[in-house]
């Protein structure tokens, strides 16, 4: 390309000092040699820096991997300790709590332990009830915190009881039940001020509802109470006054239409039940319909007599609740060392019990008395003593009568 008579040449780039190939023309041979050495060392340093960067990056990745692995290991170990703590709690509630606290999985405060029991993940509902029912000052504080986690606002009494009794299983001891129901009554009245005149009213009516549930839905109870009878039974419990009939009718219908659901424990429950029995051993039992003697392995625990076909069986062939039963020595022409379980003042009703048939069906027992033979006179006496210690009268009736009596005395003292 020509412009006029001159040939056009593109301008060359201005050379820069950091250009590795550029050497200024005015440098002496010594300066040129020194510049080349500087550039060589710079190149070596840049390579070394790049190598260090790569090593640092690899080290960071390795450290992060180790941290993740360590964190995962810690999480796994914590999960194992929590699972072990739950198992220990199901076998022995106090030892389970101690284990969890010592391993820093639970703080030893009533609020934290109450929250742990309230969530109930993997916990045996019977064990929860046993722990909450203890009379130690600390356990009572845990019970109070546990009850306070329940929200009963705007629930009628049956709805509140359904929620409360689903969170654990009521223990069998009267004193434990009394403390737990007292705490429930106080919480319900706090959430619903003005519904009842006092917590005593709520307490008494709660027990009346629980007994109504048993009477209406237990097949062994033949005399089912009517709504009129339920209303009559609860006259005067509201600080001497009567509760509204509509309220009592609604509570009655709610229980009649839907019984309380009893929380079922997992497979560990049988292990928990039979882990530390009051007594166990081989006995002979006389059949109900077919009067033959059969050798069975008996376990006495939790106010019940369980019997198994073999000691290795996981589930019992039969269960005899000892509630309201009595025991006596008897003579039998065929077997020595006999005793009987029976209902005092029996008018022909069968003992409340159940058994498992050969085909796996669970059916009601068919005994007006249970006749049992021990191997020796000494074992007979030991079994009678152990069963007598375990036989209990339904605590609800006794506690309800005691509370009504207390209310009555209180009213008399207040009268001029």
From 111, 173, 280, 309, the catalytic residue = 173
Among positive and negative, which fits the CA dihedral 414, 400, 393, 169?
A: negative
Q: What token pair was written down for 214?
A: 């048993």
Distance in angstroms (rounded) separating the CA atoms of residues 163 and 261:
10
The edge-to-edge listing of strands for the beta sheet with 362-364 is 326-330, 338-342, 369-373, 279-286, 293-301, 304-308, 318-321, 354-356, 362-364
Residues 6+ apart with CB under 8 A from 328: 339, 340, 342
- Alpha-carbon distance values, 67 to 62, 70, 291 (Å): 9, 5, 71
- The pair phi, psi for residue 218, each rounded to 5°, is -85, 120
Cβ contacts of 298-306, under 8 Å, gap ≥ 24: 298/372, 299/274, 300/383, 300/386, 300/387, 300/390, 301/273, 301/274, 301/276, 301/277, 302/172, 302/273, 303/172, 303/390, 303/391, 303/392, 305/341, 305/387, 306/273, 306/274
Q: Which of 397, 386, 398, 392 is nearest to 323 (CA)?
A: 392
The answer for 152, left when phi > 0, alpha when psi is -120 to 50, beta otherwise, is: alpha
**CA Rg value for the chain:** 39
Known catalytic residue at 173: yes
Count Cα atoms within 13 angstroms, Cβ side, for 168.
27
Q: Across the chain, which distance is largest between two alpha carbons, in Å?
A: 149
Q: 171 near 139, Cβ under 8 Å?
A: no
Torsion of CA 370, 376, 379, 380, to 10 degrees: 40
Active-site residues: which are they? 173
């Amino acid at each position: 390309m020509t412009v006029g008579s001159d040939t056009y040449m593109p301008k060359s780039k201005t050379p820069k000092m950091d250009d590795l190939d550029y050497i200024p023309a005015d440098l002496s041979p010594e300066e040129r040699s020194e510049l080349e050495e500087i550039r060589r060392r710079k190149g070596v340093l840049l390579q070394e820096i790049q190598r260090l960067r790569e090593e640092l990056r690899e080290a960071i990745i390795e450290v992060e991997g180790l941290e993740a692995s360590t964190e995962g290991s810690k999480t796994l170990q914590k999960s194992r300790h929590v699972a072990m703590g739950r198992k220990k709690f199901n076998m022995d509630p106090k030892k389970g709590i101690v284990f969890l606290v010592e391993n820093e999985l639970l703080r030893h405060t009533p609020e934290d332990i109450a929250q742990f029991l309230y969530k109930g993940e993997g916990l045996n509902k019977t064990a929860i009830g046993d722990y909450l029912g203890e009379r130690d000052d600390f356990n009572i504080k845990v019970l109070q915190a546990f009850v306070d986690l329940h929200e009963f606002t705007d629930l009628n009494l049956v709805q509140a009881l359904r929620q409360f009794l689903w969170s654990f299983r009521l223990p069998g001891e009267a004193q434990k039940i009394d403390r737990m129901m007292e705490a429930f009554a106080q919480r319900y009245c706090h959430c619903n001020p003005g519904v009842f005149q006092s917590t005593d009213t709520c307490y008494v009516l709660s027990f009346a509802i629980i007994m109504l549930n048993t009477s209406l839905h237990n097949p062994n109870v033949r005399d089912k109470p009517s709504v009129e009878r339920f209303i009559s039974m609860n006259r005067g419990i509201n600080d001497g006054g009567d509760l509204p009939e509509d309220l009592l009718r609604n509570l009655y219908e709610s229980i009649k239409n839907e019984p309380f659901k009893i929380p079922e424990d997992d497979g560990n429950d049988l292990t928990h039940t039979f882990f530390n029995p009051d007594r166990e051993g081989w006995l002979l039992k006389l059949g109900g319909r077919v009067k033959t003697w059969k050798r069975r392995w008996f376990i006495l625990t939790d106010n019940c007599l369980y019997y198994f076909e073999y000691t290795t069986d996981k589930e019992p062939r039969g269960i005899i609740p000892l509630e309201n039963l009595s025991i006596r020595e008897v003579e039998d022409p065929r077997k020595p060392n006999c005793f009987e379980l029976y209902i005092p003042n029996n008018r022909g009703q069968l003992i409340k019990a159940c058994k498992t048939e050969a085909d796996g069906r669970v059916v009601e027992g068919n005994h007006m008395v249970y006749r049992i033979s021990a191997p020796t006179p000494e074992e007979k006496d030991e079994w009678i003593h152990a069963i007598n210690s375990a036989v209990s009268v339904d605590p609800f009736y006794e506690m309800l009568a005691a509370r009504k009596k207390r209310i009555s005395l209180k009213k008399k003292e207040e009268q001029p």
